Chain A
Amino acid sequence: MTTLTVRDWLLAEVPHSKTQARCQRIFISWLAFKRNPVAMIGLLIIISLIAVALLAPWITASDALELDLANRLQPPGSEHWLGTDELGRDILDRIIWGSRITLYIVGLVSIIVVPIGLVIGIVAGYIGGWVDTFLMRLTDIFLAFPRLILAMALVAALGPGLENAVLAIALTTWSPFARIARAEALTIRNSDFILAARMQGVSTAGILSRHVAPLCMSSVIVRLTLDMAGIILTAAGLGFLGLGAQPPTPEWGAMISLGRQYLIDQWWVPTMPGIAILVVSLGFNLLGDGLRDVFDPKSGG
């Protein structure tokens, strides 16, 4: 099959199979997305982040942990592009290895937060009644909390560490997803195809998992992308306060915290990891903005 016919297949007036219809939807969204240069920059940043994280062992000269005290606090140059830190470790290498931690954090938070939010939201929206009232009150309570401070208090109780930081962030992040999923479920609930499925005897669990949940996914993914930056910033903040990943882990927030005392004379030590955080969270924000414009043009701001 040549490229042209694949394109024809993707843009056919009438899809002949479920797969084709699905591919067409994705392709048409992609065409709209591709026209948005800002969103494409965001996508590029995120793809680079993932590539760098995957290729870390091959594109770094060190494992980001071994010390080289003869070369401590070297300024950026041809030997060390972004300089070295207080223990002589190459900062670029550490940022590259740190990208794995960043992805680990956002990945872990996502796989905790999305299912919880989705289940609570669609159950509340689909079943309605007092279940809805109860679940949404619960959601509102979590929605109303100051995120960072609650995460700090949680980590204080659980003990500092990357996993506990992730758990604390997840606990304070799931609520908007429940709200979104509920709103979607409310509009889907009364559609004909749900009624049809119900008359065919599909169980409530079946309807929720096979018919309602997939339709909520696009709004949830858009929101997740937009929330990624917040998750990264909160994680970096916790790391900076010493509540997240512990040294010598090359977590970016923790790197800034360690480099803080060298700010005046060796500015690059705390500055470089900060730029990494800025670029990545900017990437997620741009991508999220673009996705929202494609999937939900009405709420664009």
Chain B
Amino acid sequence: MASAEAVGPGLVLPPKLVKVTGVIASLILTFIGLTAITFTIGRVMPADPVLAIVGDRASQEVYDQVFFQLGLDQPIYVQYFKYLGQLLQGDLGTSIMTAQPVAEDILRFFPATLELATVATLLGVFVGIPMGVLAAVNQGRWIDHVVRIIGLIGYSAPIFWLGMIAILIFYFKLDWVAGPGRLDVFYDSIVDPVSGILILDAALAGEWDIFHNAIAHLILPASILGTFALAYIARMTRSFMLDQLSQEYILTARVKGIPEWRVIWGHAFRNVLVQLITIIGLTYASLLEGSVLTETIFSWPGIGLYITNSLFNNDMNAVLGGTIVVGVCFVGINMLSDLLYKLVDPRVR
């Protein structure tokens, strides 16, 4: 469908390249928008941005220093471009709370979020997809209704509340899992943080006790965070599958006498998988964000907890730095899955 686009006399770009440049252009535009908003929140909205950063107990000297550091004596667009320049160099300012560069803080906190969101997404994918397929194949029967109800509850329950109830039941009452945090105290700081992803580091170091402990801590928050992923993925899988199963090639396959499981998994599902790429990408991105509340409940030392704690300490640099990092990941993953979809799906190609 998409023919090659001419960019000048005689110069014709292959359609794939046009798609890629288009996606990158909109990525850049979105990034500019994102930074414009964080800039507005940080510099324009507070009555006095300097006070918002240094607090009202700072001396005049510190005040003046920050005033010039922020470039508040310059016109607003110059301030914005300066801010943008700093961001592009990875400079997110200094955190008041930890007295360290925000970028360094975030690097330390981010792997925990990544670990949580990744495991949650995997749970959503490996449970949600079969559930959706099962529901579609048994459309209108009780399995379908059960899947729908689970999905609706996953959509409707406040995640922080669900997390609390889960801690009450599975930790305090049944004692099936470990409590809040990433590890039991006596396991802390034994494994070198190579990747920062604890289960990976523990496995690489061959510390299987720690590995098991980390899993015991991880499983509950990941399941809670994964509830939403599961609900969304199951719902979309069901809807895509129903779409495919009503197509004529499925009828042809059935008439040819191909076993039903092959019709479902080999024919219909293969086409659904392509559509699911975008959905999984969307889910992953939204879980990176959604982890804020889960991390608060489970004292999970990730970027969400970092942002929340910074918020209560009026640490605006840290809050906005965290917002930008999460925002960039969010936008980036969405664009990446969009791009992947465009490259993989022959109809889009």
Contact = CB atoms under 8 A, between A and B. Distances in A.
Given A149-B327, A253-B158, A278-B161, A157 B46 contact: yes
Contact of A152 (B168, B235, B307): B307
B330 A156 contact: no
A147 B29 CA distance: 18
Name the 6 nearest CB pairs between A and B, nearest first.
Answer: A141-B33, A274-B161, A301-B239, A146-B289, A282-B156, A281-B156
B311 A150 contact: no
A301 B293 CA distance: 28
B186 interface: no
Contacts of A146: 285-286, 288-289, 323, 326-327, 330
A260 interface: yes
Interface string A244-280: 0000000001001000100110010011011001100
Contact of B319 (A145, A152, A263): A152
Interface in B293-323: 293, 296, 307-308, 311-312, 314, 316, 319-320, 322-323
A236 B158 contact: yes
A50 interface: no
B326 A149 contact: yes
A242 interface: yes
Interface in B246-282: none
Nearest to B235: A301
Interface in B135-173: 152-153, 155-162, 164-165, 167-168, 172
Interface in A122-139: 137-138
Nearest to A230: B155
Contacts of B286: 146
Contact of A242 (B238, B307, B312, B322): B312
B153 A278 contact: yes
B334 to A, nearest CB: 6
Given A153-B319, A278-B153, A140 B46 contact: no
5 contacts: A146-B330, A271-B165, A274-B164, A282-B153, A286-B152
Contacts of B152: 282, 285-286
A148 B290 contact: yes
A154 interface: yes
Contacts of B164: 256, 260, 263, 270, 274
Nearest to B169: A267
A151 B40 CA distance: 13
B127 interface: no
Contacts of A154: 41
A267 B29 CA distance: 48
Given A150-B327, A152-B292, A154-B41, 6 more contacts: A152-B319, A152-B323, A240-B293, A271-B165, A274-B165, A277-B161
Do most interface residues of chain B lie in helix, strand or loop, or is the interface mixed? helix
A237 interface: yes
B37 interface: yes
Contact of B334 (A144, A243, A300): A144
Interface of B: 26, 29-30, 33-34, 37-38, 41-42, 45-46, 52, 152-153, 155-162, 164-165, 167-168, 172, 235-236, 238-239, 285-286, 288-290, 292-293, 296, 307-308, 311-312, 314, 316, 319-320, 322-323, 326-327, 330-331, 334
Given A146-B289, A263-B168, A270 B161 contact: yes
B84 to A, nearest CB: 15
Interface residues of A, number: 44
A271 B307 CA distance: 26
Q: Which residue of A153, A236, A264 has the most chain B CB atoms within 10 A of its CB atom? A: A153
A161 to B, nearest CB: 14
Contacts of B236: 301
Given A140-B30, A149-B326, A149-B327, A158 B308 contact: no
Nearest to B162: A274
B309 to A, nearest CB: 11
B172 A264 contact: yes
Contact of A274 (B153, B158, B312, B322): B158
Nearest to A275: B161
A229 B42 CA distance: 29
A153 B158 contact: no
Contacts of A215: none
A154 B331 CA distance: 19
B30 A141 contact: yes
A105 B168 CA distance: 30
A145 B307 contact: no
Contacts of B311: 152, 156, 241, 243
A242 B160 CA distance: 13
A241 B293 contact: yes
Given A144-B334, A267-B168, A229 B323 contact: no
A48 B239 CA distance: 31
Nearest to B308: A241
B330 to A, nearest CB: 5
A277 B327 contact: no
Given A150-B327, A156-B311, A237-B293, A145 B156 contact: no
A233 interface: yes
B323 A149 contact: yes
B70 to A, nearest CB: 15
A233 B319 contact: no
A270 B167 CA distance: 13
